[in-house]
Amino acid sequence: MKKYLLVLIVVIVLGLGVGTYLFLKSGSGVNSQPLPTPGIKTTGGAGGLDGSLDFPNGSVTILSPNGGESYKAGGQMVVKWQTKNVGSGNNIWIHLDTIDGKHLNNGDLVVSHVPNTGEKIVTIPSDIPAGQYKVAVTVGQELEDLSNGYITVTPVETLPTLTREQARSLVLTTWGGCDPSTCSSVVVTVQNNIVTAVYEGLRDDSASSQKKVAIASYVNNIWVLGEATVTQTCQPGRGHQDFSSVPCI
């Protein structure tokens, strides 16, 4: 009797062991599915914790820029892309990646929550370091495409500073100077490329002096004066004595 009881116990233990193995082997256990690696983006979807895909068979492809283009820091570029099996209501993220594959997070450099319209004008910050970057377009946490080649970002274009001597020459060339029949002297000053010229001792019955103020622009490697704001002071007894746009009497 004891012998048969011992055999029965052994059979029961073996049966439990085999059943447990088959249960785990069938995938019913909590450890049957490997968890996705955080931070990894794969075409077709990385999957959620429950193994679901937000974009089954989805894809995103950059159309332009796709490498070889050049842009100035502070300028704009048009990014175009195409998606498959991704709804128009899904948001797009646009990045610039450094050569070592890192996303830049510099102001508007990373543009998020962009409607999936296939095109977006992106402003490149003026303080971005000059260099080469890849354009990246991302959908959610799953789909991402990089430009085939690198774009080049050049330093922000800085304007030269207009000197006082250059401003005076510009005033005399554009507005003219003084001679014995017009005025006694012209005084020219410049600050932040804003040029001021005061014509003193006008040979005029009503106005005694005139002031012209204009912004100087650097166009095609030459300085050009914009439209001037003109004010004047009046001769004694002929009106205001401060610079004003009000005519003298």
pLDDT attached to residue 165 = 96
pLDDT at 125: 79
The residue among 33, 86, 27 whose CA lies nearest residue 56 is 86
Residue 69 and residue 103: Cα distance in Å, rounded? 19
Question: Are 180 and 223 contained in the same domain?
Answer: yes
| Plot region of 127 (φ>0 → left; ψ -120 to 50 → alpha; else → beta) | alpha
The domain boundary, picked from 124, 154, 184, lies at 154
Which residue type, as a one-letter code, is found at position 172?
Answer: L
pLDDT band at 219 (very low <50, low <70, confident <90, very high): confident
Question: Is 174 domain-assigned?
Answer: yes
The Cα 141–Cα 43 span in angstroms is 10
Contacts of 11 (CB under 8 A, 6+ apart): none
Neighbours of 166 (CB within 10 A): 16
Among 38-42, 61-65, 243-247, which stretch is predicted with the lowest mean pLDDT?
38-42
- Domain C-terminal end among 131, 154, 177: 154
Three-state secondary-structure class, residue 4: helix
Last residue of a domain, one of 98, 129, 154: 154
16 in a structural domain: no
State the Cα–Cα distance between residues 207 and 225, nearest whole angstrom: 24
Measure CA 219 to chain center.
Answer: 25
Residue 146 bridge partners (DSSP): 136
**Can you give the residue range of the structural domain that contains 224?**
164-234
**Pair (169, 149) in one structural domain:** no
- pLDDT: which is higher, 19 or 76: 76
Q: What is the pLDDT of residue 34?
A: 31
Q: Is the dihedral of CA 110, 112, 118, 119 positive or negative?
A: negative
- pLDDT score recorded for residue 106: 60
Highest mean pLDDT among 67-81, 139-153, 224-238: 224-238
pTM above 0.75, yes or no: no
Residue 26: pLDDT above 50? no
Band of the pLDDT at 100, cuts 50, 70, 90? confident
Q: How confident is the model at residue 54 (pLDDT cuts 50, 70, 90)?
A: low
In a domain, 159, yes or no: no
pLDDT at 17 over 60: no
Q: How far apart are CA 76 and CA 129, in angstroms?
A: 15
| Encoded tokens for 73 | 């820091």
The verdict on residue 114 lying in a domain is yes
How far is it, in rounded angstroms, from Cα 160 to Cα 195? Answer: 15
- pLDDT tens digits for range 56-78: 788 999 999 999 998 988 888 99
